[in-house]
């Protein structure tokens, strides 16, 4: 079935070379990592760039115009998740990782405070908290990777008094499971804590509403990344309750733009968001995100959700019929309730990194393989026991990623097509039959397989993607 939304992204059918010298249109199933660029985002930036100038204190026409565009992007980034301008600050950062780190620095915490996160988090919503306080993990069920919501509520209640924050992902980047975040938020508030939603995966696929700042099921903090929302120009967002930030601590990054006044013996910090955006901001990234948000508003989430679910169900049906394929997490093609179109799997006898390489170099299909920056969760899904975990840690510390347990992940965007799913299924079926035509070399340190005869010449597609050997620009 042709997808009417396909023409909305750049490069959907870009031709890519295969090992045998032929060329096929690229099929991209790595959307959970980063999405392609929306055509309208690119067009809007080409309108904006001739007017681009430094923002804030510049007095010229272009500076004023850029400042207005930047401020309007900030409003849109807050409106997109239902922020209340009187209660929330909207801070532009470079991505979700920076947003969580910033919040982990700025959140007011009492000594001995606990943060509870879940056992399915991306490292970006885990490690920043470990650096600041005691962290506990709400349990997931190994059989399908869903959060055990009853046990989670009990764990939250048990921490009441010490608990500062529950920090949960809206949806897993490994299984696509969507968390019951309203329940978690209610439980957090009843325990006297606040609630952070990591919306890096959820925001591109489902509408988000923080609710009123006194609602028992409200979200107090939201973080998300523009590069997962078809606007890959280096912007991300932290939306935060202002009254929860610790103004005594000062900002995590200090410098231009963060202050009201500086003398040699006194610094007066500015208010948020200025104090939280040190240095010259990424105006172009903010404008790109604004245009992507306009796209979501125009199209709504209904067709996006319907399209992605239908395609993922087609993939699941096909994978389950291929002997030797294991799908992790929930695998029922009829059940897309509380789940995004993300499908992790393995092919028996084929290391996940080799499977990904064969899909890329022999079939022109982009997926991701490994642990997806969620080592503890993937280990649970793959039932990696303590002995194997010890061996894995030792190997990784010795710079050998070759035996890292993991899976292949196919993740969908609204522009994918049935024919691409069928190509992926055909390629996986060949892999399962042991049909690997190329020769590959394992790069142990990277844990990746590369063609024995070397990588393609990427500069055929983009001039600056050239090997340093070829990039001999004559000096002027
Ligand atoms: C759930 C989740 N949280 C956080 C991140 C980190 O996002 P970024 O790489 O944009 O900082 C990701 C990235 O994949 C993610 O999937």
Domains of the chain: 6-30+301-460 (3.90.1150.10), 42-297 (3.40.640.10)
Q: What's the pLDDT at 469?
A: 61
pLDDT, tens only, 261-319: 999 999 999 999 999 999 999 999 999 999 999 999 999 999 999 999 999 999 999 99
- Active-site residue list: 373
* 51 vs 390, more confident: 51
What spacing in Å lies between the alpha carbon of 98 and ligand 1's midpoint? 10
Burial of 206 (0-12, 13-18, 19+ CB in 10 A): middle
Q: How far apart are CA 197 and CA 171, in angstroms?
A: 9
Q: pLDDT category, 86, cuts 50, 70, 90?
A: very high
96 CB near ligand 1 (under 6 Å): yes
Q: What's the pLDDT at 192?
A: 98
- Residue 342, pLDDT above cutoff 70: yes
Residue 409 preceded by cis peptide, ω within 30? no
Q: What's the pLDDT at 58?
A: 78
Residue nearest to atom 14 of ligand 1 (CA): 33
Burial of 137 (0-12, 13-18, 19+ CB in 10 A): middle
Q: What's the pLDDT at 413?
A: 98
* 379 vs 392, more confident: 379
pTM over 0.75: yes
427 CB near ligand 1 (under 6 Å): no
β-strand partners of 441: 450
What spacing in Å lies between the alpha carbon of 31 and ligand 1's midpoint? 12
169 CB near ligand 1 (under 6 Å): yes
60-64, 156-160, 402-406: segment of lowest average pLDDT: 402-406
371 CB near ligand 1 (under 6 Å): no
- Ligand 1 pocket test: which of 93, 147, 373 has the largest number of ligand atoms within 8 Å of its C-beta? 373
What spacing in Å lies between the alpha carbon of 94 and ligand 1's midpoint? 11
Q: What is the dihedral of CA 147, 149, 152, 157, to 10 degrees?
A: 170
* 401 vs 194, more confident: 194
* Strands of the sheet with 407-411, listed across from one edge: 325-327, 342-347, 407-411, 368-370
Q: How far is CA 288 from CA 2, 223, 368, 421, 452, in A?
A: 27, 17, 25, 29, 40
Contact 174, 377 (CB under 8 A): yes
179 CB near ligand 1 (under 6 Å): no
Q: Pick the atom of ligand 1 nearest to 169's CA.
A: 1
Q: pLDDT category, 475, cuts 50, 70, 90?
A: low
Average pLDDT, rounded, for the chain: 96
pLDDT, tens only, 345-377: 999 999 999 999 999 999 999 999 999 999 999
Q: What's the pLDDT at 404?
A: 86
Q: pLDDT category, 474, cuts 50, 70, 90?
A: low
* 400 vs 275, more confident: 275
- Ligand 1 pocket test: which of 94, 225, 292, 411 has the largest number of ligand atoms within 8 Å of its C-beta? 225
177 CB near ligand 1 (under 6 Å): no
Query: If you average pLDDT over residues 180-208, what whole number do you get?
Result: 98
Query: If you average pLDDT over residues 48-65, what whole number do you get?
Result: 93
Q: How far apart are CA 193 and CA 310, in angstroms?
A: 38
| Token representation of residue 261 | 């006044």
Q: Pick the atom of ligand 1 nearest to 170's CA.
A: 1
- Ligand 1 pocket test: which of 34, 171, 200, 232 has the largest number of ligand atoms within 8 Å of its C-beta? 200
200 CB near ligand 1 (under 6 Å): yes
pLDDT, tens only, 239-251: 999 999 999 989 9
35 CB near ligand 1 (under 6 Å): no
Q: Cβ neighbours of residue 64 under 8 Å, at least 6 residues apart?
A: 58
Q: What's the pLDDT at 196?
A: 98
Q: What's the pLDDT at 402?
A: 84
Q: How far apart are CA 56 and CA 68, in angstroms?
A: 9
Q: Cβ neighbours of residue 463 under 8 Å, at least 6 residues apart?
A: none
Q: How far apart are CA 70 and CA 288, in angstroms?
A: 10
Q: What's the pLDDT at 195?
A: 98
Q: What's the pLDDT at 467?
A: 72
Q: pLDDT category, 468, cuts 50, 70, 90?
A: low
Q: What's the pLDDT at 471?
A: 56
201 CB near ligand 1 (under 6 Å): yes
Contact 412, 311 (CB under 8 A): yes
Q: What's the pLDDT at 225?
A: 98
Using the 8-state DSSP alphabet, how is residue 117 labeled? E
Q: Pick the atom of ligand 1 nearest to 171's CA.
A: 1
122 CB near ligand 1 (under 6 Å): yes
Q: Cβ neighbours of residue 175 under 8 Å, at least 6 residues apart?
A: 120, 144, 145, 328, 329, 330, 339, 342, 344, 381
What spacing in Å lies between the alpha carbon of 96 and ligand 1's midpoint? 6
Residue nearest to atom 12 of ligand 1 (CA): 200
Query: If you average pLDDT over residues 449-463, what whole number do you get?
Result: 93
Q: What's the pLDDT at 470?
A: 57
What spacing in Å lies between the alpha carbon of 157 and ligand 1's midpoint? 28
Q: What's the pLDDT at 349?
A: 96
């Amino acid at each position: 079935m042709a997808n009417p939304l396909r023409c909305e992204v750049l490069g959907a059918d870009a031709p890519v070379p295969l090992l045998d010298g032929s060329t096929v249109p690229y099929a991209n199933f790595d959307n959970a990592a980063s999405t392609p660029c929306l055509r309208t985002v690119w067009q809007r930036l080409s309108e904006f760039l001739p007017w681009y100038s430094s923002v804030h204190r510049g007095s010229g026409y272009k500076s004023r115009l850029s400042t207005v565009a930047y401020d309007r992007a900030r409003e849109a980034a807050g409106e997109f998740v239902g922020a209340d301008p009187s209660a929330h600050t909207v801070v532009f950062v470079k991505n979700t990782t920076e947003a969580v780190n910033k919040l982990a620095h700025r959140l007011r915490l009492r000594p001995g405070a606990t943060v509870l996160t879940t056992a399915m988090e991306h490292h970006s919503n885990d490690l920043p908290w470990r650096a600041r306080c005691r962290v506990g993990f709400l349990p997931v069920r190994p059989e399908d990777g869903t959060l055990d919501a009853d046990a989670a509520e009990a764990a939250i209640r048990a921490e009441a008094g010490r608990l500062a924050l529950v920090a949960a992902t809206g949806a897993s980047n490994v299984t696509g499971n969507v968390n019951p975040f309203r329940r978690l938020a209610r439980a957090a508030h009843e325990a006297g804590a606040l609630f952070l939603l990591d919306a890096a995966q959820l925001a591109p696929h489902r509408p988000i509403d923080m609710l009123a700042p006194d609602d028992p099921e409200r979200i107090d903090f939201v973080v998300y990344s523009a590069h997962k929302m078809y606007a890959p120009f280096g912007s991300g967002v932290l939306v935060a309750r202002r009254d929860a930030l610790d103004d005594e601590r000062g900002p995590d990054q200090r410098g231009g733009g963060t202050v009201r006044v500086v003398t040699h013996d006194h610094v007066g910090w500015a208010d948020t968001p200025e104090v939280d955006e040190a240095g010259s901001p990424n105006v172009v990234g903010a404008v790109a995100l604004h245009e992507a948000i306009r796209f979501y508003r125009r199209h709504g989430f209904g067709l996006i959700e319907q399209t992605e679910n239908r395609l993922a169900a087609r993939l699941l049906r096909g994978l389950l019929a291929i002997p030797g394929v294991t799908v992790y997490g929930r695998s029922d093609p009829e059940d897309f309730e509380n789940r995004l179109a993300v499908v992790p799997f393995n092919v028996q006898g084929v290391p996940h990194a080799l499977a990904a390489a064969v899909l890329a170099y022999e079939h022109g299909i982009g997926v991701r393989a490994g642990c997806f920056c969620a080592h503890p969760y993937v280990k649970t899904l793959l039932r990696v026991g303590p002995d194997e975990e010890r061996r894995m840690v030792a190997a990784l510390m010795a710079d050998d990623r070759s035996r890292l347990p993991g899976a292949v992940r196919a993740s969908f965007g609204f522009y994918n097509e049935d024919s691409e799913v069928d190509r992926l299924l055909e390629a996986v079926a060949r892999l399962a039959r042991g049909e690997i035509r190329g020769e590959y070399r394992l790069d142990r340190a990277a844990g990746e397989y590369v063609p024995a005869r070397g990588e393609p010449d990427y500069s055929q597609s983009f001039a600056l993607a050239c090997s340093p050997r070829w990039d001999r620009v004559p000096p002027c």
